[in-house]
Amino acid sequence: MAAKRAERLVNLVIALLSTRQYVTAARIRATVPGYEADDGSERADEAFKRMFERDKAELREMGVPLETGRTSAFDTEDGYRIARADYELPEIRLTGEEAAAVGLALRLWESAQLAGAAHSALVKLKAAGIDVDSSRAIPLQPRLDAGEPAFEPCYAAARDRRRLEFGYQRPDEDTPSRRRVQPWGVVAWHGRWYLVGLDLDRGAERVFRLSRVVGTPKATGPAGAFEPPAGLDLAEVVAGQVSGEEQLVVVRARPGTAIGLRRHATPLGGGEDGDDRLQLRTTEPGRLADQLAAYGSDVLVEAPAELRDAVIARLTRLAAMGEPA
């Protein structure tokens, strides 16, 4: 399924889940991003009708309980809604590994352009007079992952299959180099975001860590200019190219704390003091020490000793900065 069509279907589902009323096709057209705008022409009307009929059929094929009806006896045309009781799954219990995967997917959703479009659809429905129950709405926040400012343009270029240009600062280089890439996709691996694609100047498959991208990447050329290799596994490509000796780290975290850390950790069970024991993997112990220090007394490093000493050193410096002169 094309990315734009998938976005439109997601927006449609969110809009119809968020109201108890039946929403007419005209209001759906005006409020859900992705449909042909109403410019008064017969061509635009026909294009919307065909697109909407395909979308309804696809949702029903996927098992979405799309209902047709009228909110009151005074309505002159049928509308559509999705009964949340029929749509929702029963209670789901996740293992620690599964919960970490869901957390990672949430980061992608929060960073992607999907969130902004879906949130916009809900706002438009409210403005159109549709009774949108905020407590029933899916809590989307249209925000960019502040830790990776290059995420959004890289994701958009990979989605639209457009060539990408950006500056890239490698640790072994004094100045950033200019890269021209066919972006195949963006993937998270061991707590980092990476861009995978074809380096046009080197004529080879390459992996780029987004935190090393300098400035704002620029998409050039037409959309649909290339296709990624068939059967491409982005995570496998990253795992095969990212260098650095991986280090295992064991920490203890107080229950209910360090939620962000847990997303990338493997649970090891509870400790004797009631804390949760977590295992982390890193190729950059210095950066991990900075992250762990930010949790203060909620997190304690068990091993290795070198990383524990590094965290203590950082906390000691912070404490000294806070002391009166």
How confident is the model at residue 103, as a pLDDT? 55
Task: Find the Cα–Cα–Cα–Cα dihedral 175, 178, 184, 186, rounded to 10°.
Answer: 30
Burial class of 234 by CB neighbour count within 10 A (0 to 12, 13 to 18, 19+) = buried
Domain locations in the chain?
1-89+118-128, 150-242, 247-321
Contacts of 192 by beta carbon, 8 Å cutoff, 6+ apart:
209, 210, 211
Alpha carbons 180 and 166: distance in angstroms, whole number? 7
Alpha carbons 134 and 99: distance in angstroms, whole number? 25
Block residue for tokens 């080197």: 202
Q: What sign for the dihedral angle of Cα 112, 115, 118, 121? A: negative
How confident is the model at residue 130, as a pLDDT? 52
Task: Find the Cα–Cα–Cα–Cα dihedral 202, 205, 210, 213, rounded to 10°.
Answer: 10
CATH of the domain spanning 1-89+118-128:
1.10.10
H-run or E-run covering 152: helix 151-160
Block residue for tokens 């100045």: 175
CA-nearest of 288, 286, 287, 266 to 277 is: 266
Taking the whole predicted model, whether its pTM rises above 0.85 is answered as: no
Q: Does domain 150-242 have CATH number 3.10.540?
A: no
Q: What tokens appear for 254 in the block?
A: 């107080």
How confident is the model at residue 139, as a pLDDT? 43
How confident is the model at residue 99, as a pLDDT? 55
Alpha carbons 75 and 55: distance in angstroms, whole number? 23
Q: Which amino acid is at 280?
A: L
Per-residue pLDDT of the chain (325 residues; tens, 9 = 90+): 566 788 888 888 888 887 778 889 888 888 888 887 777 788 888 888 889 899 888 888 888 888 888 888 887 888 888 877 777 666 666 565 565 555 555 555 554 445 555 555 555 555 555 555 544 444 444 333 445 789 989 999 999 999 999 999 987 677 899 999 999 999 887 667 899 999 999 899 999 999 899 999 999 999 999 999 988 888 888 887 765 556 889 999 999 888 888 888 899 988 778 899 999 988 777 778 888 988 888 999 999 998 999 899 888 887 776 555 4
Long-range contacts from 3-9, C-beta under 8 angstroms, 24+ separation = 3/159, 3/160, 4/34, 5/34, 7/33, 7/34, 7/113, 7/114, 7/117, 8/32, 8/33, 8/34, 8/35, 8/55, 9/55, 9/58, 9/59
